[in-house]
Amino acid sequence: MGLILKDLERIGKDLELSDQAWEIERASRQEWIDRTSSNDTWAKKIFKDVGILMTSHTGNRPYLKACIESHLKLGYWITLAYDNYINPEWPVIDHDNFLPSKDVMDNIDSFFMSHHQVWGGVMYPWFWLMKWGTDLLQQFEYIYCVNGDFVIEKPEGFKDLMAMLGDGDIMSYGPSLERSESTCFIARSSALKRIMQHFQDHFIPWDKYEAYTQEYGNPESRFAIAIRELGLKRIIVPESPFNEQMHLPGYGTWYKLLGFRHIHGEHNYAYRHKGIPPHFKYLDSRFMGDEYNQIKSYYELVENEPEKAKKVLEDWWAKDG
């Protein structure tokens, strides 16, 4: 039997206890009530109208911590759907080499990982993460889907994005093309469930994939086709990002309202094309080796010792040839 606040009053059989015994008993009851009611800090998020579905994998661990910490500010339920890199044929597994860190797991509300897959690309595992994540979040009227290497810098702008969605079924950060739709978006959960069923009907099992792959293509294409064939209302944002990879910040409606940034894309582009990497506050030193120290050193030097900072970047950039 559980306890209620009334049980903190000394009535009934509690009157038979000595003062010392009652204080010990009351303190024990208070501790139980405090511990149990503290669950409301996360459990009450289930009553909100938006749930977050965050898809990620082992390779995203340098960016996942910042992604989750920035999205926590929205106050919505976060489900982390994690790609399974752990091959069951390996006789010994060190899960620390694959799974999210403890501080990441402490900040999410639910977690799942599907069957290990041997597909030669991202589409197959991504489908399963989206399929089961969508079903898991049907409690919510809307699902905000985001990859685990994005951050938001202006969470207060999310309400303006929701207002922009209006009576639409789905709205991505863009670009929204006839044959392509971004896989980071806000959608009505009922519409997203229909999209994922359409995806499944043309993807699983192998003979379905074989029949439709030339026509339907990659996940972004399959999403756009499903939206069109299901007659869903797609809201197109006024301003698209620089491109679908968002490797340059500062462009697009989602950036202007939400501070929406693809840290992984910015990082890779800066390394390969001699640019400035994202700030080290968005990177996780545990999964980057000395590269993290180089980027951190650049930002610590750039204001007062720009020439030294430039040399750090030159040493970090990918070498020609």
Residue-level pLDDT at 321: 55
Each residue's pLDDT tens digit, 109-166:
999 999 999 887 889 999 999 999 999 999 999 999 999 999 999 999 999 999 999 9
For 214, the token pair is: 């030339």
| Angstrom distance (rounded) from CA 204 to CA 284 | 36
β-pairing verdict for 170-172 and 50-56: unpaired
| Phi, psi dihedrals of residue 174, rounded to the nearest 5° | 100, 180
**Given this model, what pLDDT does residue 204 score?**
96
Question: Which of 159, 157, 181 lies closest to 170 in space, CA to CA?
Answer: 181
pLDDT in tens, 290-302: 999 999 999 999 9
| Residue ranges with strand state E in the chain | 50-56, 77-82, 110-113, 142-147, 150-152, 170-172, 185-188, 260-262
State residue 319's pLDDT score.
Answer: 87
Mind giving me the DSSP string for 249-311? TT-SHHHHHH-EEEHHHHHHHHHHTT-PPPPGGGS-GGGTTHHHHHHHHHHHHTTT-HHHHHH
Residues 6+ apart with CB under 8 A from 295: 277, 280, 283, 316
| Among the ranges given (39-53, 140-154, 165-179, 272-286), the one the predictor scored with the smallest mean pLDDT | 165-179
CA 51/CA 156 separation, integer angstroms: 16
Average pLDDT of the residues of the chain? 95
pLDDT at 320 over 80: no
Q: Which tens digit of pLDDT belongs to each residue from 10-30?
A: 999 999 999 999 999 999 999
Q: What is the mean pLDDT of residues 194-206?
A: 97
Query: Which whole number is the average pLDDT over 197-224?
Result: 95
Cα separation, 46 vs 40, in Å, equals 10
pLDDT > 70? residue 246: yes
C-alpha distances in Å from residue 43, one per residue of 3, 38, 73, 303: 19, 9, 16, 44
pLDDT for residue 180:
87
What SS3 string covers 161-178? HHHHHCCCCEEECCCCEC
* Tokens matching residue 168: 């639409």
**pLDDT single digits (tens) 96-110:** 999 999 999 999 999
C-alpha 104, offset from chain centre? 11
